[in-house]
Amino acid sequence: MGWITLLVFPIPAFLVMYFVKDVDAFELLQLDHFKTIPIAYGLEFGVLYAFFAMFMLKAPVFERLPLKIDQLVKGLKLNYFDAIFLSLCAGIGEELLFRAGLQTFTGVWITSFIFVAIHGYFSIKNLEMNYYGLLVFPFILLLSLGFEHFGLWFSISAHFAYDAVLFLEMRSESKNS
C-alpha cells in the first residue's frame, strides 16, 4: 500500500505537468526549495493539527463513526517502522499528486475538497461522516495554502507529521486493546 502511494500516485502529476505545463520531474519535486524552515514549519503544523484532531475526535459525535482509516490501520497491526514508512509514503505520493499536480489546474479550494472527498470523509449516504470531513478539511486547505506559500516540502512534511502522529496513536490504541 505504501509503495503504491509513493511510486504510482505521482505518475499522473509527472505526466500531466510534463506534457501540459512543460515542467520536468526536478522542477515538480522543487528540490531547490528543500530547505529546513518550510520543512520545520510543516512538521510543526502537522503535529499540532494531529493533536487537535485527536482531541476533537474524543467528542461524542465521533464515537459512533467507524472511520475507515482507523479500521484499516488497526487491522494492519503496524509496527513503529511501518507507521513512519506509510506516513512518509502518503506525504510524498499524495502531495505530489494533489498539490504539485492537481492543484495547478483546480486551485486550492477544489483540490482540498477533492482530497477530503476521495478519502471518504464527505458522504451523502452517511451525513455524520461529514463531521470528520469538516474536521480534516481545514488541515488540507492549509496544506494547499502552505504549498502556495512555502512550497511542496512544507506540504509533504505537514502531511507526513499529521499521519505519523495519528498512525502511531492508532498503533498504540490497537496494542492496548
7 contacts 92 by C-beta, under 8 angstroms: no
**Which residue range forms the structural domain that includes residue 9?**
2-176
Whether this prediction's pTM lies above 0.85 is answered by yes
List, in order, residues 6 or more apart from 43 with CB less than 8 Å away: 157, 158, 160, 161
Between helix 36-56 and helix 129-150 the angle, nearest 10°, is: 170
Q: Which of 2-11, 40-49, 103-112, 163-172 has the lowest mean pLDDT?
A: 163-172
Task: Give the span between the Cα atoms of 99 and 144, in whole angstroms.
Answer: 6
Task: Give the span between the Cα atoms of 71 and 80, in whole angstroms.
Answer: 17
State the pLDDT at residue 123.
87
Between helix 103-118 and helix 129-150 the angle, nearest 10°, is: 150
DSSP 59: S
96 contacts 27 by C-beta, under 8 angstroms: no
pLDDT tens per residue across span 96-137:
999 999 999 999 999 999 999 999 889 898 888 899 999 999
pLDDT tens per residue across span 6-31:
999 999 999 999 999 999 999 999 99
- Number of domains within the chain: 1
State the pLDDT at residue 51.
98
DSSP string for 107-141: HHHHHHHHHHHHTT-S-SS-TTHHHHHHHHHHHHH
39 contacts 153 by C-beta, under 8 angstroms: yes
pLDDT tens per residue across span 134-154:
999 999 999 999 999 999 999
Amino acid at 45: F
Task: Give the span between the Cα atoms of 17 and 141, in whole angstroms.
Answer: 22
Average pLDDT, the chain: 91
Task: Give the span between the Cα atoms of 111 and 102, in whole angstroms.
Answer: 7
Task: Give the span between the Cα atoms of 134 and 8, in whole angstroms.
Answer: 28
